[in-house]
Amino acid sequence: MKRLSILFVAFLAMILAQPTELKAQDAEGGDALIGVWEPSHGKARIKIDKIADKYYGRIVWLKEPNDPDTGEPKLDKNNPDESMQSAPLRGYRMLKDFEYMGDGEWDGGTIYDPENGKTYSSVIKLKDNSTLDIRGYIGVKTFGRTDEWKRLEIKKK
């Protein structure tokens, strides 16, 4: 009887512990997105970080940081909000509000294209630890474009 009770308690503890463990694994899985990534065009690098349990990406490096016409740092001149056109592109938060859905997928976010000032719904899928597919779309996921980004390995001194 005593043995049965111990077994029952152990079984109960196992059941109770499992969701917490899964949740912890889930959170860790979500953080796999954190890092610096380079889109396929290679003209920019985007650093993804986590704020208030969501994932956001900023442009931290531009191949051509200055506007060839002015020689000054490139600004977000295509932003539909005129009052925000003085914001520089370097540091621009172009990925917003991604939530981890599990299974290497982040959804519910948006991606901003500074070349046309448009914002698209977006979903990110991690293919492997150093490659992700990011899809921008309007309305339905079927109609959109996918780009492959590579993780940038920061060489430690």
Partner 1 sequence: MKKLTYLSICLLFLMMASCDSTEMKTIRTASVEMTEEYPMEGSNTLTGIWQVDLDGITIDRVKSAKVTSIKVKMREPAKSDLLEEIIMQLAAKDTDMQRVGVLNPVPPNQSAIDFSIASKQNNLIDLLKQSEITFVADVNLQEDLPGELSIVAEIEFELEVKQ
- Point out which residues bind partner 1 (CB under 8 A): 47, 49, 51-54, 56, 58-61, 73, 80-84, 86-88, 90-93, 96-97, 110
Nearer to partner 1, 140 or 154 (CB): 154
| Tokens encoding 114 | 């500074």
Place of tokens 């889109």: 39
Per DSSP, the three-state class of 134 is strand
DSSP 66: B
Q: What is the smallest separation between the CB atom of 93 and partner 1, expressed in angstroms?
A: 6
The H or E element that residue 131 is part of is strand 131-137
- Cα–Cα distance, 8 to 5 (Å, whole number): 5
Nearer to partner 1, 44 or 132 (CB): 44
Q: What is the smallest separation between the CB atom of 87 and partner 1, expressed in angstroms?
A: 5
Nearer to partner 1, 15 or 154 (CB): 154
Q: What is the smallest separation between the CB atom of 9 and partner 1, expressed in angstroms?
A: 36
Nearer to partner 1, 6 or 113 (CB): 113
Per DSSP, the three-state class of 17 is helix
Measure the CA angle with vertex 125, ends 123 and 130; round to 5°.
Answer: 135
Strand-pairing partners, residue 149, are 132
Q: What is the smallest separation between the CB atom of 47 and partner 1, expressed in angstroms?
A: 7
